[in-house]
Amino acid sequence: MKLSKILAFMIAIIMCVAMFAGCANTPNTHEVGGQIIYGSTTELSGDLGNAWWTNNATDKAIRDMIDDYDVVVSDQAGDFVENKTVVNKIESVVNDDGTKTFTVTINEGLKFNNGDPITAANYVAYYLVGLSPAAKEAGAKTTSAAQQVVGGIDYQNGDAKEIAGLRLIDEYTYSISITADFIPYYFDITYASLKPVSFKLYAPSSPDITVKDDGDGVYVDGGELTKDEIDASRYVYEDRISAGPYTLKKVDKGTLTATLEINENYAGNFEGQKPSIKTILVNKVVTETEFDSLKTGAIDFLAELTGGDEVKQALALEEEGKFTTIHYDRNGYGKIMFQCDFGPTQFKAVRHAIAYLLDRNEFANQFCEGYGSVVHGPYGIAMWMYQDAKEDLNDRLNTYSYNVDEAIKLLEEDGWVLAEDGSEYKEGIRYKKVTDEEAGDYEHVVTLDNGDKLMALEIEWSSSENNPVSELLAIMLANGEQTAQAGMKINQNVMSFDDLLNYMYRDATVDEKYGVKTYGMYNLASNFTAAYDQSYAFTMDPELVAQGYNSNFTDDEKLDQLSMDMVYGVESGDKDQYLKIWVDFIDEWNDYLPEIPLYSNVYYDIMSSKIKGLECNALWSFEQAVVYAWVEE
């Protein structure tokens, strides 16, 4: 072979090696140092309890940065992959009784941030804690998982000390068996995925507590799990034992800030990537002054800018040269949310009427200013399902185009035809005769001398403070002439976002007042993960509803069934069947209307130009992407 051919051959080999290395996202190594100040308009509540209670966006971001040793994770494209840093192998088998068992072998040498070794016992401890009677008593929403795992309900109800379907095979191997009712499952690889926890966090008064398996399943030995200690674990900050790229060093709820530093014991993410940025500060910012905070260096990064005004300010800053932006379609939507079990919003006609009274196209135009559009269901413009089913959705969904006459017609047909004294409605607020059950304890109900109960078409709205969406809704809906013309009154109640969530979840474990039915309407937003699974979001199971699974408090059997059928009974990889049921689900949701979708927008992130290599997308958030980033001062 001539020298030139040999040289060409060697170059080709080098290029191939480089190409495949790039495809594998070979971890980049940068000098450790610097810090990012992450600005968040959502105030942290400080609840770090594995999303078993609340799931505030800022709390979730912190949790995701300090806990990252799940067996299965989603990658940059939103596909589920084995976390090779954690897992040696995953095997699965469908058993003769229809159950499915996943056997997982984890790698040796993993450690918590405090240096304690991580073994298979720490992974099964995740469900021993989360599915325990004590966790349920503390208000943890884990019954759905208990239903899926063989023996999970018996363990959670205290009828068995073991979880029969969870086995500790050896020091680095565990297995988990899923009941036949939940097989097949579209995202079934996620069943294999647990995350490691330390009993030191959840049972600090039991230093000898451990995991045992005598052949009938795993159980807790040498100590006990208690309601008080599990509940208290949500709010442990300093010395919190975790296993992610960062360690939580401090939370100051007075200033709504958190400090995170690199976890020196972190072995890397699913691609082996370790963080380079030493410190991340999470600071609360106010929307009105967020760009001033960027300019002064009070923050370095703002994620997921939504309104057109915010986007334009971000682009203007980028032109000045000290900041950079990235943008991507949103995997979620902004919304008005209803609670459908009390007050006027328990009636579908009222929910429909409110939709007709709001010009959503104009709302999206004013808020997004060209950087988003109206959607008509619980989806975002980034979703592959939406992209594949656009035409079908256009044919089937009600767009609730602005129509005051249609709103009034629906209200009249639903019985909102009375005045406060029971006479025929002429003007002001409409009333409707209701049953004792429909009236409940709602404050806007009057009882006539003849015993009839009349409910006012008066809705209490929970609205978060310093929120431009709330301000626009107040102008275009609550205080709009068309709303008064229809005989409806919407009372805006401004509060912290933390309070809003507690009322929405009716979380009496925080304060008894939150457990009282108070607000029928909220405005907020939802973003979806790589697994679009709404199977328990609209459940009618009373026990699950009581635990907070269905925060809309819906009572639509078809919606409940479709949300389950979409994922359970669909084989993993059968996209056509999944998509077909997804469209049916969206169609039913659009008719029942537990929420009014307002917009799905193009997200913009803006950051100081000192931050390099930080690339987010709709399914790859800051907390996942930051381990690839570095700082150049």
Tens-place pLDDT, residues 564-581: 999 999 999 999 999 999
- Better pLDDT: 158 or 30: 158
Nearest to 450 by CA among 421, 429, 425, 426: 421
Instruction: Look at residue 164 and tell me whether its pLDDT is greater than 90.
Output: yes
CA gap 518, 460 in Å, rounded: 7
Residues 498-508 have pLDDT tens digits of 899 999 999 88
Place of tokens 């998982």: 145
Note the Cα 86 to chain centre separation in Å: 24
- Number of helices (H), then strands (E), in the chain: 22, 25
Instruction: Look at residue 368 and tell me whether its pLDDT is greater than 90.
Output: yes
> Do 495 and 389 meet the contact criterion of CB atoms below 8 Å apart?
no
Q: For 116-153, b where at least 16 C-beta lie within 10 A, e where not — what string?
A: eebbbbbbbbbbbbbbbebbbebbbbbbbbbbbbbbbb
Nearest to 69 by CA among 265, 205, 214, 262: 265
Kindly state the helix (H) or strand (E) to which residue 577 belongs, with its residue range. Answer: helix 575-592
The DSSP-derived string for 181-217 is GG-SBTTGGGGG------HHHH-TT-TT-EEEESSS-
Class for the domain spanning 69-227: alpha beta
What confidence score (pLDDT) does residue 562 get?
98
Instruction: Look at residue 338 and tell me whether its pLDDT is greater than 90.
Output: yes
CA gap 241, 220 in Å, rounded: 19
CA gap 284, 169 in Å, rounded: 45
Average of per-residue pLDDT values in the chain:
93
Instruction: Look at residue 20 and tell me whether its pLDDT is greater than 90.
Output: no
The sign of the CA dihedral 561, 189, 86, 163 is: positive
Instruction: Look at residue 337 and tell me whether its pLDDT is greater than 80.
Output: yes
**Cis peptide before 184, with omega less than 30 degrees from 0?**
yes
Instruction: Look at residue 7 and tell me whether its pLDDT is greater than 60.
Output: no
Per-residue pLDDT band for 24 (boundaries 50, 70, 90) equals very low
Vertex 435: Cα angle to 432 and 438 (nearest 5): 85
Instruction: Look at residue 180 and tell me whether its pLDDT is greater than 50.
Output: yes
Kindly state the helix (H) or strand (E) to which residue 301 belongs, with its residue range. Answer: strand 301-305
Per-residue pLDDT band for 8 (boundaries 50, 70, 90) equals very low
The three-class DSSP label of residue 34 is: strand
Residues 275-316 have pLDDT tens digits of 999 999 999 998 889 999 999 999 999 999 988 999 999 999
The three-class DSSP label of residue 502 is: helix
Mean pLDDT of 313-330: 95
Residues 409-434 have pLDDT tens digits of 999 999 999 999 999 999 999 999 99
At 309, list the tokens.
């005004």
Instruction: Look at residue 259 and tell me whether its pLDDT is greater than 90.
Output: yes
Note the Cα 585 to chain centre separation in Å: 19
Contacts of 389 (CB under 8 A, 6+ apart): 579, 582, 583
Residues 570-629 have pLDDT tens digits of 999 999 999 999 999 999 999 999 999 999 999 999 999 999 999 999 999 999 999 999
Mean pLDDT of 313-336: 95
Give the CB-side neighbour count of residue 625, counting CA atoms within 13 A.
Answer: 19
Write phi, then psi, for 68 (nearest 5 degrees). Answer: -150, 35
What confidence score (pLDDT) does residue 123 get?
98
How far CA 108 is from CA of 112, 172, 213, 458, in Å, comes to: 13, 7, 20, 61
What confidence score (pLDDT) does residue 12 get?
38
% of residues, the chain, pLDDT over 90: 88
Per-residue pLDDT band for 21 (boundaries 50, 70, 90) equals very low
Per-residue pLDDT band for 17 (boundaries 50, 70, 90) equals very low
What confidence score (pLDDT) does residue 201 get?
97
Q: How many CB atoms lie within 10 A of CB 382?
A: 21
CA gap 47, 233 in Å, rounded: 9
What confidence score (pLDDT) does residue 50 get?
84
The three-class DSSP label of residue 336 is: strand
Residues 494-548 have pLDDT tens digits of 999 889 999 999 988 889 999 999 999 999 999 999 999 999 999 999 989 988 8
Q: For 55-70, b where at least 16 C-beta lie within 10 A, e where not — what string?
A: bbbbbbbbbbbbbbbb
The three-class DSSP label of residue 62 is: helix
Per-residue pLDDT band for 633 (boundaries 50, 70, 90) equals confident
Global pTM reads 0.89
> Do 290 and 303 meet the contact criterion of CB atoms below 8 Å apart?
no
For the chain, the structural domain boundaries read 69-227, 332-414+458-600, 417-456
The DSSP-derived string for 129-188 is HHTSHHHHHTT---HHHHHHBTTHHHHHTTS-SSBTTEEEEETTEEEEEE-GGG-SBTTG
Contacts of 158 (CB under 8 A, 6+ apart): 133
Q: How many CB atoms lie within 10 A of CB 463?
A: 24
Nearest to 132 by CA among 149, 110, 109, 157: 157
Q: Using the 8-state DSSP alphabet, how is residue 26 labeled? A: P
What confidence score (pLDDT) does residue 43 get?
83
Q: Using the 8-state DSSP alphabet, how is residue 475 labeled? A: I
Instruction: Look at residue 1 and tell me whether its pLDDT is greater than 80.
Output: no
CA gap 515, 503 in Å, rounded: 7
Q: Using the 8-state DSSP alphabet, how is residue 59 labeled? A: H
Mean pLDDT of 247-272: 95
Determine the straight-line distance between the first and last CA of the chain, rounded to whole angstroms: 50
What confidence score (pLDDT) does residue 410 get?
98
What confidence score (pLDDT) does residue 14 get?
34
Contacts of 167 (CB under 8 A, 6+ apart): 124, 174, 175, 176, 177, 213, 217, 218
Nearest to 444 by CA among 434, 435, 454: 454
Lowest mean pLDDT among 38-52, 154-168, 339-353, 414-428: 38-52
CA gap 68, 60 in Å, rounded: 12
> Do 340 and 351 meet the contact criterion of CB atoms below 8 Å apart?
yes
Which one is the CATH code of 332-414+458-600: 1.10.760.10, 3.10.105.10, 3.90.550.10, 3.30.70.380?
Answer: 3.10.105.10
The three-class DSSP label of residue 610 is: coil
